[in-house]
Amino acid sequence: MDNWLIVGLGNPGLQYEKTRHNLGFMLIDRLARELQTQVKRKECRALIGRAEIENKAAELVKPQTFMNLSGEAICCLLKKENRSAAKLIVISDDLALPLGKIRLRPKGSAGGHNGLKSINDCLKTQEYIRLRIGIQPAQQVNDAKRFVLENFSNTDLETVEKVLQQSAAAIRAVLSDGVEKAMAKYN
C-alpha cells in the first residue's frame, strides 16, 4: 500500500521562512502541528514527517534543495518503496491566483513556477495532484522574483492564516473523498 507524499515547496533557511514563496513549507508545518508530528527526518535532501491523515498513511515533506531544484528531492523519494506519483500532492505558491484563493488540480503545467517545472522535468510527467495557493499582488510588480522572496506584509497575515486553514482542509478532503470532490468543494 503506497503512502501519500504531501510535499510543500519552499526554500530552506530562516531568511525565507515567512516569504510568499514558502507557503508550501508553511502548510506542511501547519499540518504537522495539527497532526502532532515533526518534519525532521532527513531523506533524499528533504525533511520528512510521518502522519496519518483521514486514516491514510502520509509523509509530510519539505525539500531542502531550494525551490528551483525541488524535483530532485521528489524524484529521489518516489524511487523508494511504497511511494508513487499517483499519491503525490505538491503544494506551491501561485502568482496568478489572488491572495487567499486556492486551486486544486489532478495534473497540469508548471505555469511559470520553477519548482513545479523542476518536478515535471524530473518526473517526466505532469500527472500529480497540486494545490496552488495564491500570492498575487494587489497591484502590478516589476520584479516578480523579488516579490515572491519578500515576507508577507502584516496586513496580509490574517488572509494567509485563513488560506492555510482552508488548504489544510482541502488536503484532508483529497485523502478522504478524492481530488474531484475536493476540487468541487474548495476551488
Catalytic center residues? 21
C-alpha grid cell for residue 134?
495564491
Angle, in degrees to the nearest 10, between helices 179-186 and 157-177: 150
Which residues, other chains included, contact 32 with Cβ-Cβ below 8 Å and sequence gap of 6+? 38, 39, 49, 51, 60
Q: What is the full DSSP assignment across 60-91?
A: EEEESS-GGGHHHHHHHHHTSTT--GGGEEEE
Longest CA–CA span in the chain (Å) reads 47
CA distance 67 to 39: 18
